[in-house]
Amino acid sequence: MTKRAVLIGCNYPGTKAELKGCINDVRRMHRCLLDRYGFPAEHIVVLIDTEGSADAQPTGKNIRAALSDMVASAVPGDILFVHYSGHGTRLPADDDDTGYDECIVPTDMNLITDDDFRELVNKVAEGCRITIVSDSCHSGGLIDKAKEQIGESTRRKKKAQGNGKCSGSFKKLLCTDAHKEEEVEVEQLITSKSLPLSTLIEILKQKTGKLDIKVGELRPTLFDMFGDDATPKVKKLMKVVMRKFLGGATDGGILISGCQSDETSADTIPDGDERHAYGVLSNAILDIIAETGGKVSNRKLVVRARKLLKQQGFPQHPGLYCTHQHLHARFIC
């Protein structure tokens, strides 16, 4: 049995979409996989948008390649793990339970959709287990047509909420001052991990030089920019090919989402120091792993994460998508 992982962190430095804690999330998860779960360092691929080799950048092409390589190299009995921390967004769709295509946002804006994750999971060898943690907005349902075990995304009847805003806001929390041994009030910078379509369009305008891009032209624009490296769903639509429905596909994937499909996830700087920034789902998961020694089921992990985020004042609701056989299985392995 081999343990393999792909860790993806997008801070989008120097852009209007900039976040602060995603690379920290990946670094902490990398250490956790090595120390707690025994993943070999040579089987962990890290993609973060810091200066360095272009091959290590979390572009759409590089993310797809890393995920495909991991799945292709796996054999029955292997443990596969994916952790993404970064922006999420939604594109209007007419063939999805939520009415949208949920997407993650690579550093180059080459979106990866819920259909991409479904196709990835369908390629996993029988006898392997793949767990995906997505600390991003609108991440509920990120594996298309996966069974929702904990969450409200596919059951909600209310009108879907907007894509949220990426501007920061301050929230006051009570924390313990280690030097004074008393509770003090501190300001915590909170940033939404939702990438509004308006911001996506603005970034695409900057990248392409085209100033007339509208919502209805997003898919053609992405196809023009990325061609064969674009999400397969964009390519199918551009070629006017009937969409392929995946009903009845075997679901061996486990998705832990940072929030519901119509919610946003938070990126926070708890004490105003960017070195300590983190995604709140990633932080909650790592805290729970530390509390339990990593011996916690998928269900208990998500239930506990929901309670922690509620206690901390965050309105997002993590979700769990998997078959019943994985509901009470241990997280990762």
**Active-site residue numbers?**
87, 137
**What are the tokens at 242?**
């009937």
**What are the tokens at 332?**
């990762």
* Sign of the Cα pseudo-torsion (236, 238, 240, 243, in order): positive
Whole-Å CA distances, 234 to 13, 92, 210, 220, 320: 26, 13, 19, 8, 27
**What are the tokens at 128?**
């392997």
Give the gyration radius of the chain's Cα atoms: 19
> Helix, strand, or coil here: 284?
helix
Residue 57 sits at the vertex; the CA angle it makes with 40 and 87, to the nearest 5 degrees, is 100
> Helix, strand, or coil here: 9?
strand
Give the integer Cα–Cα distance in Å for 255 and 322.
Answer: 7
Q: Which residues of 107-143 are buried (b: 16+ CB within 10 A; e: fewer)?
A: bbbbbbbbbbbbbbbeebbeebbbbbbbbbbbbbbbb
Give the integer Cα–Cα distance in Å for 314 and 316.
Answer: 6
Give the integer Cα–Cα distance in Å for 286 and 304.
Answer: 12
